[in-house]
């Protein structure tokens, strides 16, 4: 089973969505993980809502610090934002480092529905990248 770690700054939106998509689409061939360089306290509720619209439940995923994974053998480390790429620690056991750059939906402003426009956009971009990865 290939172990993939998705990494972003807060581990509350983008990396959580990527973890959920790979778990859903990977057909049991992947161990899908996510972490943040400065993890938030909880998964962003609008990320959970956006993924529920795709029938993927990420509500039980919790933000984790990247340090938890430093000594683990990881096949692929995928950074999903430029901040994580720049502050990503060295994973000496990783076979590959993949860099994706997505806008942070947590920065969205306005009403919940206005914020959901950005969450859906980023969710759909991540979904396409995961399908390409597979």
* Active-site residue, from 81, 94, 118, 130: 81
For residue 13, indicate whether it is catalytic: no
Query: Three-state DSSP class for 83?
Result: helix
Q: Which of 50, 56, 47 is nearest to 12 (CA)?
A: 47
For residue 81, indicate whether it is catalytic: yes
* Active-site residue, from 24, 64, 75, 88: 88
Q: What share of the chain is helix, strand, coil (3-state, %, to 5)?
A: 40, 15, 40
* Active-site residue, from 4, 8, 48, 126: 8
For residue 88, indicate whether it is catalytic: yes
Query: Annotated active-site positions, please?
Result: 8, 81, 88
């Amino acid at each position: 089973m290939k172990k993939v770690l998705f990494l972003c700054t807060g581990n509350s939106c983008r990396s959580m969505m990527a973890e959920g998509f790979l778990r859903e689409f990977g057909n049991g061939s992947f161990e899908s993980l996510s972490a943040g360089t400065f993890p938030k306290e909880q998964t962003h509720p609008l990320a959970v809502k956006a993924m529920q619209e795709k029938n993927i439940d990420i509500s039980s995923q919790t933000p984790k610090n990247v340090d938890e994974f430093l000594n683990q053998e990881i096949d692929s480390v995928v950074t999903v934002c430029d901040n994580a790429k720049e502050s990503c620690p060295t994973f000496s056991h990783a076979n590959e480092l993949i860099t994706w750059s997505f806008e942070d939906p947590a920065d969205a402003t306005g009403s919940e529905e206005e914020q959901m426009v950005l969450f859906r956009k980023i969710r759909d971009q991540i979904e396409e990248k995961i399908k390409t990865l597979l």
